[in-house]
A = this chain, B = another copy of it.
Amino acid sequence: MLSFENDYSEGAHEKILQRLAETNRVQQPGYGEDAYSRSAKEKIRAACRDPEADVFFLSGGTQANLTVLSALLGTTEGVLAADTGHVSVHEAGAIEGTAHKVLTLPHRAGRLDAGDLEAWLKAFYGDPTCDHMVQPGAVYISHPTEFGTLYSRGQLEDLRRVCSAYHLPLFLDGARLGYGLMSRNTDVTLPDIARLTDVFYIGGTKVGALCGEAVVFPRHGAPRHFFTHVKQHGALTAKGRLLGVQFDTLFTDDLYFSISRHAIEMAELLKAGFAARGYRFYLDSPTNQQFVVLPLAEMARLRERVRFSYWCPYDAEHAVVRFATSWATTEENIAELMEALDAR
């Protein structure tokens, strides 16, 4: 059945498979010491315009989040996030599993607002009992957010300013980073992100790879013993070449960006198709996730032909559902979806 359920329904971009096959019998050392990982790191540093960035390849997003955050946070510290943040809701307590609280603030269309953050921090440090509470130790955002929305460069700069004022590292979860960077409605570049955050990751799993996320600590910023920390959390891949080859391919000839741009184009087609048919959107997402308000009966009928994600109730007669495009979505897929819509 046709699926718009998520952006990890297919395998990997064919160039990755091809490169895996070509390099398959070349003997390489393990644990990220292979030539492909070294090459991929260089290319990522170049794309970030930060020749001193520390780069690590981890095999998945939850791992990246829990490994990075538990390395950043002191024992009494928690991470500040929007209440819709992935680390707060959908990671089965991965952060708490490393003994750290997720401190939540109300989201603004999925975003953490710099003004809200500053107000929270001011109130926290103004409370005479604050040393009986979890200390803020890092700030987590995702870009795109859970709602497919984006931060503007100005918003990131505002967050950076607040984080710097309070000596808090800023961590950007880029599980879908490509789709954010290639949106038509963004002024944020990869070098901006490297400049404005203390650590972020470039998502591979949802952007054309079989698996893998590239964790980047700009300006030689990796915490002490981070390699050992990755190992301890089971996030170190013995055959590091698997991640190295993939990111080396993604960052050759701008493949990461071109396939992300394709997903955006497919999302625009999809959006236009829904709009032309009079559907409302839950919010205006400029990336590959589109949130559509569907009448309940229609949702049920559409389910018979297409897979998509139920998101949340809208009102007594409607629900919000999510359609995700990806590097693998084709124009035929969109046409087929529209046909299914029209078939009612």
A11 near B97 with CB under 8 A, answer no
Instruction: Report if A229 contacts B (CB, 8 A).
Output: yes
Given contacts A17-B20, A23-B11, A29-B5, contact A66 B101 (CB under 8 A): no
Among A106-114, A203-211, A283-291, the one that faces the other chain is A203-211
Min C-beta distance of A121 to chain B, whole Å: 15
Contacts of A77 in B (CB 8 A): 225
Contact of A94 among B2, B90, B231 (CB under 8 A): B231
Min C-beta distance of A159 to chain B, whole Å: 23
Instruction: Report if A342 contacts B (CB, 8 A).
Output: no
Instruction: Report if A75 contacts B (CB, 8 A).
Output: yes
B211 near A59 with CB under 8 A, answer yes
Contact of A76 among B28, B63, B206, B229 (CB under 8 A): B229
Among A128-136, A187-195, A254-262, the one that faces the other chain is A128-136
Contact of A228 among B60, B100, B135 (CB under 8 A): B135
Contact of A211 among B63, B101, B228, B237 (CB under 8 A): B237
Contact of A132 among B96, B231, B235, B310 (CB under 8 A): B231
A146 vs B35: C-alpha distance when bound (angstroms): 27
Contact of A11 among B24, B29, B89, B100 (CB under 8 A): B24
Contacts of A60 in B (CB 8 A): 59, 234, 236-238
Contacts of A6 in B (CB 8 A): 30
A20 near B27 with CB under 8 A, answer no
Contact of A92 among B24, B71, B76 (CB under 8 A): B76
In the complex, what residue of chain B is closest to A228 when comparing beta carbons? B76
In the complex, what residue of chain B is closest to A328 when comparing beta carbons? B25
The interface size bin for chain A is 35 or more
Given contacts A210-B239, A237-B211, contact A96 B99 (CB under 8 A): yes
Most buried by B among A24, A31, A94, A234: A234
A65 vs B128: C-alpha distance when bound (angstroms): 23
Given contacts A11-B24, A235-B234, A239-B211, contact A101 B90 (CB under 8 A): no
B92 near A133 with CB under 8 A, answer yes
A5 vs B2: C-alpha distance when bound (angstroms): 45
List A16-42 residues whose CB lies under 8 Å from chain B: 17, 20-21, 23-31
Min C-beta distance of A308 to chain B, whole Å: 12
A76 near B62 with CB under 8 A, answer no
Min C-beta distance of A278 to chain B, whole Å: 28
A304 vs B244: C-alpha distance when bound (angstroms): 26
Contact of A21 among B17, B25, B135 (CB under 8 A): B17
Mark interface residues in A182-219 (1 if CB within 8 Å of B CB, else 0).
00000000000000000000000110001100000000
List A67-86 residues whose CB lies under 8 Å from chain B: 67, 70-71, 74-78
A236 vs B234: C-alpha distance when bound (angstroms): 11
A238 near B5 with CB under 8 A, answer no
Contact of A29 among B9, B25, B76, B225 (CB under 8 A): B9
Min C-beta distance of A3 to chain B, whole Å: 4
Min C-beta distance of A340 to chain B, whole Å: 15
Measured CB to CB, the residues of A under 8 A from B are: 1-3, 5-6, 8-12, 14, 17, 20-21, 23-31, 59-67, 70-71, 74-78, 89-94, 96-102, 128-129, 131-135, 205-206, 210-211, 224-225, 227-229, 231-239, 241-242, 307, 310, 328
